[in-house]
Structure 1
Amino acid sequence: MNKLTILPQGGLGNRMRVLESAIYFCHQFNYKLKVIWINNDDLGCNLEDIFESIGIDYSKPKTLFEYNFYKYFCRYKLLKYLPSLYSTFGLLLYDKVLLDLNIKSFNGDIDIKIVKDKHNLFISTCYPFFQFPNYNNFLLKKSLSEDLSLLKKNLGESYFGIHFRGTDNSKALKNSPLEKYITAIEKILESDSNSIFFLATDEEKVKKKMKLIFGEKIQMFSSSLNRNTKEGIHDAVLELYCLANAHTIICSPFSSFSDTAQLIDKKKRIILIQ
């Protein structure tokens, strides 16, 4: 039986798009899926703590030794800077090993000729590698779904979503500075002073500044910005789905979090800040 072992890297948005790629790939080419989901500083929460289902059956590491092997030996920086070494070593365990460098060369869709007759694949990446239309395969845990329903009710049916990515995303900070977001919001309010905005961001100082400028026009909820905890990831999931529920998303083109929100739930307008 063909098997795909997937080790998604990065934060929530990155991992969701890698998983969705894997799901559609497995359905299309009849592969069994194994997910190596590592808790680390980027995402400190089990997959099963977020989603009731991802739309496909999958296996996990069977032992703590196997889990720790991938956690410590397959750290993202090692895979990123030593791809040749890992690709060579990986062939002792797999028929084919694909890492970021390979995935980026496919330009969004895996080259099927490369994996033809490869019955045991290993892919570790933060990038999507197989086309998918949306994230409808993911079913949130009941507790998260209930919290989300309450937040949506408080926000109402019609609002703009804003995602400002800060912290370590230097490309987003450079090309999509906060001042450009403020200008875009001011223009919207000039056209419709009744507009409401929901802000999702990993920067506490941005929350304070936006609230100071726009007052009650900016809605947000008090969330943990610590993504290496279960609480922090749960809050990130709620922000992601509230962002996805907006009729329009104002965001940077350099964030997987925003990209993920665009493919969740209903169709929406996108205003790119760049």
Structure 2
Amino acid sequence: MKKKRIVLRPTSGLGNRMRAISSFIYFKSLIDAELEVVWIPDSGLNSSYHEIFQPSKHFTLLHPNLGPKLIIKGKTLLNNKFSFIRWLTNVYNTMVCRLMGMDCLLLDKDVKMGTDRLKKVCNDKFNILVVTGNQCIDYPEGFRAFTPSPTVLSNIKVARKKFKENMIGIHIRRSDHDIAIAKSPVYLFENKIEEHLNAEEADFGVFLATDDPALSTYFQEKYPDTVVTYPKTFGRNSREGIMDAVLELYLLAGTKKIYGSYWSSFSGVAKRIYGTELEILHI
């Protein structure tokens, strides 16, 4: 019998890509399919898969070919107010899909419908192309499929030498994330650190992960004996910046408890790597 095949192009940033792959590791078992991943560096994550992760037995990594990149997934065209533009976009995507030898295309809106709906859609399909930064199901076990590259693992080991026995993690998302900035103000994280310090916990420390260099400096100066950060390269446009983001993600995951930012996939992914307790601080 012909084996079903899912070709997944995960999109957006690191957390979104890991969640998408994790969920389709689960979904492939529901429809007895092989999972192939096309990891394409772009402005959201400018790094190849091999630079940050080791190969996984749960899926086959394909060469980043042009086909999946040609698929239009932007809402501006897919949900355009003019029906002709929407029709033309769908025709174009269908043509690209067929030229790739695929007989089914799933985008963000399809993936969000969940596994039951996807099973029905894929019932009589054998070559399924998925282009998404979303997950079809929350599947924490799927994150065990990811192992950092040897270089990243080595740097994690060195960085963890600065960890104290009772280490909590704090993730403060800033940059262009307006929702996190509004819902998770800095004082909430300061209050949480003060709460732990007042409890006089033995060998207590804080690992701070943030995309704001000014905040990193602020917390280190305010809590010099407590807060530990990694001297990373900020930004997603460089290879070094992405490798440091993976390193920071796994350091955060290795703490006793994570205090995260509202509506940030980074905090949620860190929780799922080792099953670390997560509390989102928000107003």
* TM superposition score normalised by structure 1: 0.88
Q: Could you list the per-position Cα deviations for residues 11-30 of structure 1 after superposition, in whole angstroms to 9, with x for gaps in the alignment?
A: 11111111111222223422
- Name 2:75's counterpart in structure 1: 80
Instruction: Verify the 8 A CA contact 2:156 2:251 in the aligned structure 1.
Output: yes
In 2, distance between residues paired with 1:145 and 1:113?
A: 40
Q: Could you list the per-position Cα deviations for residues 13-59 of structure 1 after superposition, in whole angstroms to 9, with x for gaps in the alignment?
A: 11111111122222342222232211112111101111112332414
In 2, distance between residues paired with 1:237 and 1:130?
A: 22
Give the aligned residue type for 2:10: P
- Name 1:55's counterpart in structure 2: 57
- Confirm whether residue 143 of structure 1 aligns to residue 145 of structure 2: no
- Name 1:46's counterpart in structure 2: 48
Query: Secondary structure of 1:91's partner?
Result: helix
Query: Secondary structure of 1:32's partner?
Result: strand
In our comparison, the structure showing a higher alpha carbon Rg is 2
- CA offset at residue 109 of structure 1? 6.7
Q: Could you list the per-position Cα deviations for residues 170-191 of structure 1 after superposition, in whole angstroms to 9, with x for gaps in the alignment?
A: 1111111112111222122111
Give the aligned residue type for 1:228: N
Superposed, 1:204-215 pairs within 5 Å as 204-215=213-224
- Confirm whether residue 15 of structure 1 aligns to residue 23 of structure 2: no
- Confirm whether residue 132 of structure 1 aligns to residue 139 of structure 2: yes
- CA offset at residue 111 of structure 1? 3.2
Identity %: 29
Q: Tell me which of 256, 261, 272 is aligned to 1:247.
A: 256
Structure 1 consecutive aligned stretches of length 4 or more whose deviation exceeds 6 Å: none
Q: For the aligned residues, what is the CA RMSD?
A: 2.1
- Name 1:268's counterpart in structure 2: 276
Instruction: Verify the 8 A CA contact 1:53 1:140 in the aligned structure 2.
Output: no
* TM superposition score normalised by structure 2: 0.85
Give the aligned residue type for 1:133: P
Q: Tell me which of 117, 129, 133 is aligned to 2:124.
A: 117
Q: Tell me which of 208, 215, 238 is aligned to 1:199.
A: 208
Query: Secondary structure of 1:271's partner?
Result: strand
Aligned residues: 265
- CA offset at residue 91 of structure 1? 3.1
Larger mean CA deviation between 29-38 and 42-51 belongs to 29-38
Instruction: Verify the 8 A CA contact 2:71 2:93 in the aligned structure 1.
Output: no
- CA offset at residue 226 of structure 1? 2.2
Instruction: Verify the 8 A CA contact 2:183 2:262 in the aligned structure 1.
Output: no
- Name 1:35's counterpart in structure 2: 37
List alignment gaps of at least 5 residues for structure 2: 79-85
Instruction: Verify the 8 A CA contact 1:87 1:98 in the aligned structure 2.
Output: no
Q: Could you list the per-position Cα deviations for residues 88-123 of structure 1 after superposition, in whole angstroms to 9, with x for gaps in the alignment?
A: 4333323222212222343x7753112211212121
Give the aligned residue type for 2:74: L
- Name 1:91's counterpart in structure 2: 94
Instruction: Verify the 8 A CA contact 2:55 2:61 in the aligned structure 1.
Output: no
Q: Could you list the per-position Cα deviations for residues 74-99 of structure 1 after superposition, in whole angstroms to 9, with x for gaps in the alignment?
A: 46xx5332235554433332322221
Given the superposition, is the C-alpha separation of residues 131 and 181 from structure 1 closer, same or farther in structure 2, using an over 3 Å criterion? closer
Instruction: Verify the 8 A CA contact 2:164 2:205 in the aligned structure 1.
Output: no
In 2, distance between residues paired with 1:186 and 1:252?
A: 18
